[in-house]
Amino acid sequence: MSNLRIIKDRTASGAMRTVTIVALAFVLVMGWGLYRKSAPILSEIPLWDLLTDSTWQPFKNKFGFFPFVMGTIWVTLIAVVIALPLSLFTAVFLTEYARRWVKKCVYPALDILASLPSVIYGVWGTLVIVPWISDRLAPYFVSFSSGYTTLAAGIVLSIMILPLLVSLFVELFSSVGNDLRDSSYALGATRWQTAQSVVLRKSMPGVFASVVLAVSRALGETIAVLMVCGNMAAVPHSVFDACYPIPALIANNYGEMLSLPMYESALMFAALLLFVVVLVFNLASRLVLRKIERK
């Protein structure tokens, strides 16, 4: 009888170990699969040329990813520039200043922001942000803009990464010891001084890691960005130009690509590029955040 129980326990242990290891191996399988699929294009065009060439004519076998890479960088940069101050102030307020009832209102709001699907952000972007840019904002700067611009994509994206940033920051700031705050107050520092030169300074590495994590989230956002960015395969020269980030490229061409093997390979290369960048960013920021958590 007791033998059976031990066998049961051992079997379960083995099975669970297998499941865990298979799940782990999935990261590698994914990278390997995407690499295999993009191997044809990598063997034909050198990596550097793929990334820096800006002619995108798949039917003439010309695959230059430069416009898409630039589109992604622009959109992500705008998103971070908008979301960073907003989330820093929000998080400092929530941890250092806010009363209980304020927190009770703000946290559910952030929850909702975090849970809304990408496509809803896209709908909101096309209904609110796009017309606002084309009617109100753009006329001050350029003669005409459809509203479907790099800026619109950046704004929508900034709101999508906002809840992630705030929750990471709140966690960081509340892990700063109260003794540090008390000593700062004891020296006669104001609240803001304490927040700025004690809490913020203490959590600087974590803030940096959180931003990297948010960037990696922003890089992969597809549908919402696709709906407002304008989808023009050209390098944007101002925030009022349309752009075409990498995820949008993949999503827009998925049916078409099957007709040309090289085209398919190019899109899989785009996915591989995204995978590698996100993987590296994620790994780096998680390692830093974990180290902080352990302290």
Query: In the window 123-152, what residues touch another protein (CB under 8 A)?
Result: 123-124, 126-128
Q: 3-state SS of the chain: helix, strand, coil percent to 5? A: 80, 0, 20
By CB under 8 A, residue 231 contacts another protein: no
Among 149, 167, 184, 216, binds another protein (CB under 8 A): 216
Among 46, 52, 81, 119, binds another protein (CB under 8 A): 119
Q: Supply 139's token pair.
A: 């006329």
Backbone φ and ψ for 63, nearest 5 degrees, come out as -120, 95
Beta carbons of 262 and 60 less than 8 angstroms apart? no
Three-state SS for 236-293 is CCCCCCCECCHHHHHHHCCCHHHHCHHHHHHHHHHHHHHHHHHHHHHHHHHHHHHHHH
By CB under 8 A, residue 290 contacts another protein: yes
Beta carbons of 169 and 264 less than 8 angstroms apart? no
By CB under 8 A, residue 9 contacts another protein: yes
Candidates 52-60, 61-69, 120-128, 232-240; binding stretch for another protein (CB under 8 A) = 120-128
Candidates 68-76, 175-183, 200-208, 250-258; binding stretch for another protein (CB under 8 A) = 250-258
Q: Which is nearer to another protein, 16 or 204 (CB)?
A: 16
* Whole-number Cα distances in Å, 119 to 126, 148, 169, 245, 253: 11, 16, 26, 16, 18
By CB under 8 A, residue 260 contacts another protein: no
User: Considering only CA atoms, which of 128, 151, 125, 155 is closest in space to residue 138?
Assistant: 151
Footprint (CB under 8 A) of another protein, residues 18-47: 19-20, 23-24, 26-27, 30, 33-34, 37
Length of the chain: 295
- The C-alpha atoms of residue 188 and residue 195 are separated, in whole angstroms, by 13
Candidates 51-59, 172-180, 197-205, 221-229; binding stretch for another protein (CB under 8 A) = 221-229
Fill in the amino acid letter for 279. L
Q: Which is nearer to another protein, 238 or 259 (CB)?
A: 259
By CB under 8 A, residue 195 contacts another protein: yes
Query: Least separation, in Å, of the C-beta of 142 and another protein?
Result: 25
Among 16, 81, 142, 260, binds another protein (CB under 8 A): 16
Query: Least separation, in Å, of the C-beta of 33 and another protein?
Result: 6
Cβ burial of 186 (10 Å; 0-12, 13-18, 19+) is exposed
Among 162, 170, 207, 242, binds another protein (CB under 8 A): 162
Q: Which is nearer to another protein, 85 or 177 (CB)?
A: 85
Candidates 73-81, 138-146, 189-197, 234-242; binding stretch for another protein (CB under 8 A) = 189-197
